[in-house]
Amino acid sequence: MSQRARTCFFAAIFAVAALANQAIAYDGTVKKDVFTMPSYTTVNGKTIKNVRVGYETYGTLNAAKDNVILVCHFFTGNSHAAGKYKPEDAAPGYWDAIIGSGKAIDTDKYFVISSDNLVNVNTRDPNVTTTGPATINSDTGKPYGMSFPVVGIRDFVNVQKALLDSLGIKKLHAVAGASNGGIQSVEWSAAYPDVVERVVAVIAPGLEINAYGIEMLNMWSTPIVTDPKWNNGDYYGREEPMEGVAQSVKLVILSASGFGGLDKRYGRKWAADDKDPGAALSNVYAIEDGTYKAAAARAKTIDANHFLYTARANQLFSVAAEAKKIKAKFLFVPASSDQFFPPSMVRRWAEVLRAQGNSVDVFEIEGDGGHYDGLFQVSKASTAIRDFLAR
């Protein structure tokens, strides 16, 4: 081969390599896939046929299939954790600040996979695929409604495990998530201790939901079950309990918001300048109006029964009795102004894990946004997460 031919040959090789690299590297554009199981049997022994959940991936699975980070979603969230479906999308996935090329969860190194949960609340979001009470039961041709079996966080995890198995993935470099996603991450470490090497649990409670958390979830669910249109969960094909769902979401927003953030945003302003709340009971403050409207808009994609089932799954969360099985290293990321799962709660569980020999780091996000800081201020934990994943 002449010098010139050799030059061309290597140039061509490099070009192909670059092209291949470009084809497989994550550039922020994502698409949704769907994973299907012909049948899944719950922890409580109930069988659900034809389970389908959506998922997204960012980055490239390496040959050893050992560069995988599973990301689990929060209560009202879904698998859209990063990137955009189309460049013109209004916003990227919820954790885009820390998932991507060169970011804390670096898609140049890691293959990130994020799935919709069983009973995901957003049944009317076209980008969500889930299975739950709103799903047609193939045995009856009608939605399951309340005949859908109760599922727990362990069931969410078991379906994710089946998804990973289908991709030939046997090890997780890490499982990560915020809130209910953090809860799933911790559940993973107890359910599959030999699979999970690291847990990044952001704004999560620790090893269980306590009594207060159980009651908070009851509080969130109550507006749905007291809405006459809920009709014991039998509302498919008729008017749905959308007012109940809106009121439930309003409670979620309040629980997840921080004192300081709400004060800055709304203060004591009235909803309308000419409607003094001191003059009539129907005149309200800006925060009452704003929070309700935000909740009602958010409620549009949410199925009432899926909300109740997701709440129950969270109430059921406890791996405290299985702590001894857990082998993973932990990074807990509480938010300083989180009133739902305050840093003090997380630190208590961190001590339990340390006392039994687990490596546990705690990095606290400072802010006044409450629980939401685990979503909107997560970039403050970038270095802590990056360093933890490299250890």
Please give the positions annotated as active site.
179, 338, 371
Q: Which residue carries 């107890």 as its tokens? A: 190
Overall size of the chain counted in residues = 391
- Return the number of other C-beta atoms located less than 10 Å from residue 77's C-beta: 25
Alpha-carbon distance of 172 to 196, in angstroms, equals 5
Alpha-carbon distance of 72 to 387, in angstroms, equals 20
Nearest distance in Å: CB 44, a copy of itself = 6
- Return the number of other C-beta atoms located less than 10 Å from residue 270's C-beta: 16
Alpha-carbon distance of 209 to 93, in angstroms, equals 27
The gap from C-alpha 276 to its chain's centroid, in whole angstroms, comes to 40
Give 233 or 374: the residue with its C-beta nearer to a copy of itself. Answer: 233
Residue 323 in the binding site for a copy of itself (CB under 8 A): no
Region for 29 from its dihedrals, namely left if φ exceeds 0, alpha if ψ lies in -120 to 50, beta otherwise: beta
Question: Which positions from 35 through 54 interact with a copy of itself, judged by CB under 8 A?
Answer: 43-44
Question: Which positions from 325 through 354 interact with a copy of itself, judged by CB under 8 A?
Answer: 339, 342, 345
Return the amino acid letter for 381. A
Cα–Cα nearest to 175, from 199, 192, 157, 152: 199
Nearest distance in Å: CB 235, a copy of itself = 15
Return the amino acid letter for 89. D
Q: Which stretch binds a copy of itself (CB under 8 A): 19-27, 88-96, 251-259, 353-361?
A: 251-259
| Site pattern 132..161 for a copy of itself (x: CB under 8 A) | --------------x---x-x---------
Question: Which positions from 84 through 143 interact with a copy of itself, judged by CB under 8 A?
Answer: none
Of 210, 231, 301, 358, which one interacts with a copy of itself (CB under 8 A)?
210
Give 114 or 310: the residue with its C-beta nearer to a copy of itself. Answer: 310
- List CB contacts of 193: < 8 A, sequence separation 6 or more: 325, 326, 327, 328
Question: Which positions from 261 through 300 interact with a copy of itself, judged by CB under 8 A?
Answer: 262-263, 265-268, 276-281, 284-288, 291
| Site pattern 212..241 for a copy of itself (x: CB under 8 A) | x-xxx-xx--xx--xxx----x--------
Nearest distance in Å: CB 253, a copy of itself = 9
Give 57 or 221: the residue with its C-beta nearer to a copy of itself. Answer: 221
Of 208, 234, 322, 361, which one interacts with a copy of itself (CB under 8 A)?
208
Of 63, 64, 211, 390, which one interacts with a copy of itself (CB under 8 A)?
211
Return the amino acid letter for 81. A
Give 262 or 365: the residue with its C-beta nearer to a copy of itself. Answer: 262
Angle at 215 between CA 260 and CA 308, to 5 degrees: 100
- List CB contacts of 382: < 8 A, sequence separation 6 or more: 97, 98, 103, 104
In Å, what is the CA distance from 354 to each residue of 69, 200, 203, 351, 357?
23, 15, 19, 5, 5
Q: Which stretch binds a copy of itself (CB under 8 A): 57-65, 182-190, 312-320, 373-381?
A: 312-320
Return the amino acid letter for 284. V
Provide the sign of the torsion angle of the four alpha carbons 390, 323, 349, 72, taken in this order. Answer: positive
Of 73, 103, 198, 250, which one interacts with a copy of itself (CB under 8 A)?
250
Task: State both tokens at 5.
Answer: 């031919």
Q: Which stretch binds a copy of itself (CB under 8 A): 89-97, 101-109, 164-172, 311-319?
A: 311-319
Give 95 or 349: the residue with its C-beta nearer to a copy of itself. Answer: 349
Nearest distance in Å: CB 359, a copy of itself = 27
Alpha-carbon distance of 131 to 96, in angstroms, equals 26
Residues lying near a copy of itself in the complex (CB under 8 A): 43-44, 146, 150, 152, 208-212, 214-216, 218-219, 222-223, 226-228, 233, 243-244, 247, 250-251, 254, 257, 259, 262-263, 265-268, 276-281, 284-288, 291, 308-309, 312, 315-316, 318, 339, 342, 345
